[in-house]
Structure 1
Amino acid sequence: MDYRIKCLPSGVLIFTITRVDTRNAVNFRVMEGLQEAIEQASSADVRALVITGEGGQAFCSGGDLSVFHALRTEEEAYGMLSKMGEILYRLAVLPKPTIALINGTAVGGGCEIASACDFRVAKIGAKLGFIQGSLAITTGWGGGTLLFERIGTAHSLKLLSEASVYRAEQLDHIGFINQVVDEADEAAAESFLEKELSVSSGVLSAYKQIQIRKWEATGLHDRMMQEVRQCAILWAKEDHHRAVDGFLNKK
């Protein structure tokens, strides 16, 4: 199994990517697991959803290039990218608090998953970066669009355009990281949510709906899908395939 789902007595549902050997990279099974977790989180018994990675090294290293590099054409890429884009849209509009519990490196698609969550709690020293540009593509799961919804325009554009890696502490002051902790574990997630967990779940859902209504009015879903399509176009170009070949050969 490439993922684990469990619910804590507090009502916090934890989704964990368990592909430590790939630095918790996303494959199609992980996508299906995340979709399952989102469906479970819709239950009245669940008060919040937390997403994290197994071990202490990586939250998520993005899409598994050893699998997805086989996708060569625009339409092949769009099939995979749009599948994950739809999942991240559902995560973003889930009417429950959501947290990316960043226990280690989060790069590429890992940062897109984090952007889909309401909050990001990161282990001190964790490295994060929207590095897609170094592979001659853009964010492709809708994470760029979501990033612009989370933090200021100038900061978002800088993070995306530079394709650089930062420490969690560097992203704290711009609001991308909401809290830096010594250990990004279940206890840290429950501590971060302590006050929310004492409030009626109906109240939390009602507040989240305010954000969701804004996103529906501004066409968030369509904007994310436009981002997905643009990435698919770039994915099919030789520049991208050459960059991925170089990356995989270095490994």
Structure 2
Amino acid sequence: MDYSIIRQARGLLVFTITRAAKRNAVNFEVMEGLKKAIEQAKGEDVRALVITGEGEQAFCSGGDLSVFHELRTEEQAYGMLSKMAEILYSLAVLPKPTVALINGTAVGGGCEIAAACDYRIARIGAKLGFIQGGLAITTGWGGGTLLLERTNASHALKLLTEASVYRAEQLDHIGWINKVVEKASVIEVEQFLEKELSMYSGVLSAYKEIQVRKWQETDLHGRILQEVRTCAQLWAQEEHHQAVDAFLDKNS
């Protein structure tokens, strides 16, 4: 199995991508696993959902290009992109606190998963970047839209359009990384959420609902789907396929 879902002490539910050999890249099985974890996190005995990756090298390197590069047309791409975008939207509006525990590199779709979470705790030196522009596409799982909800618009636009990779410490000062730690562990999450984990869960859900109502008023879901469609259109262009071919050749 390419993922694990484990209940920890104090009501934490931990979803881990267990594809260390693939730098924890997302495939369809990981998508289904994350969907299951989000559903389980709605249970009364769960106080918060934590998402992380196996090992110490990568949180998530985005979509598995060895699988998704088989998608050539706009509609083929849209099917995959919209599936993950719906999952990340469900993650964003989950009525429980959510934490991306960034244990290593988070690039491309990995950053989009992190953007869907309420909080981001990252290991010192972890590399992060919305690198999609270098592959001649945009964010396609809703991550660009969510990033613009999570941080200052000018900072978000810079991160998206530069398509560069940064260290976690560089993103701490703009507030997108909430805490930088020596070692990414569940203990760090417990310390970060210490007060929340001892609070009545109905209070936490009520505050999340305030945020969700705002997003409903500004049609977050519709804006995410527009982002997906734009990415799918770019995905079908020859520039993207050539960029992915070059990337795969470089890393083979």
Same fold (TM over 0.5): yes
Q: Which amino acid aligns with 2:248?
A: L
- Secondary structure (helix, strand or coil) at the match of 2:16 reads strand
Q: Which amino acid aligns with 1:11?
A: G
- Secondary structure (helix, strand or coil) at the match of 2:34 reads helix
Q: Deviations over 1:141-181 (max 9, x none)?
A: 00000000000110000000000000000000101100000
Partner residue in 2 for 1:22: 22
| Aligned positions of 1:150-169 closer than 5 A | 150-169=150-169
Partner residue in 2 for 1:124: 124
Q: Deviations over 1:83-132 (max 9, x none)?
A: 00000000000000000000000000000000000000000000000000
Shift of 1:186: 1.1
Cα distance between partner residues in 2 of 1:211 and 1:77: 30
Partner residue in 1 for 2:227: 227
Partner residue in 1 for 2:67: 67
Q: Deviations over 1:55-90 (max 9, x none)?
A: 000000000000000000000000000000000000
- Secondary structure (helix, strand or coil) at the match of 1:195 reads helix
- Secondary structure (helix, strand or coil) at the match of 1:110 reads helix
Q: Which amino acid aligns with 1:250?
A: K
**TM value normalised by structure 2:** 0.99
Partner residue in 1 for 2:134: 134
Partner residue in 1 for 2:102: 102
Cα distance between partner residues in 2 of 1:58 and 1:192: 21
Cα RMSD (Å): 0.4
Partner residue in 1 for 2:189: 189
- Secondary structure (helix, strand or coil) at the match of 1:125 reads coil
Partner residue in 2 for 1:236: 236
Partner residue in 2 for 1:176: 176
Partner residue in 1 for 2:31: 31
Instruction: Specify every segment of 5 or more residues in structure 2 that has no aligned partner in the other structure, as ranges.
Output: none
Cα distance between partner residues in 2 of 1:225 and 1:239: 22
Shift of 1:190: 1.1
**TM value normalised by structure 1:** 1.00
Cα distance between partner residues in 2 of 1:185 and 1:18: 15
Shift of 1:22: 0.6
Partner residue in 1 for 2:43: 43
Cα distance between partner residues in 2 of 1:172 and 1:186: 20
Cα distance between partner residues in 2 of 1:149 and 1:186: 26
Cα distance between partner residues in 2 of 1:186 and 1:94: 20
Segment drifting more, 187-196 vs 97-106: 187-196
Q: Which amino acid aligns with 1:247?
A: F
- Secondary structure (helix, strand or coil) at the match of 2:9 reads coil
Cα distance between partner residues in 2 of 1:44 and 1:209: 16
Cα distance between partner residues in 2 of 1:56 and 1:137: 28
Q: Which amino acid aligns with 1:187?
A: I
Shift of 1:9: 2.0
- Secondary structure (helix, strand or coil) at the match of 2:230 reads helix
Shift of 1:198: 1.0
Cα distance between partner residues in 2 of 1:215 and 1:206: 14
Cα distance between partner residues in 2 of 1:30 and 1:18: 9
Runs of 4+ in 1 over 3 A off after TM superposition: none
Q: Aligned residues: percent identity?
A: 75
Partner residue in 2 for 1:203: 203
Cα distance between partner residues in 2 of 1:65 and 1:9: 36
Instruction: Specify every segment of 5 or more residues in structure 1 that has no aligned partner in the other structure, as ranges.
Output: none
Q: How many residues align?
A: 251
Shift of 1:227: 0.1
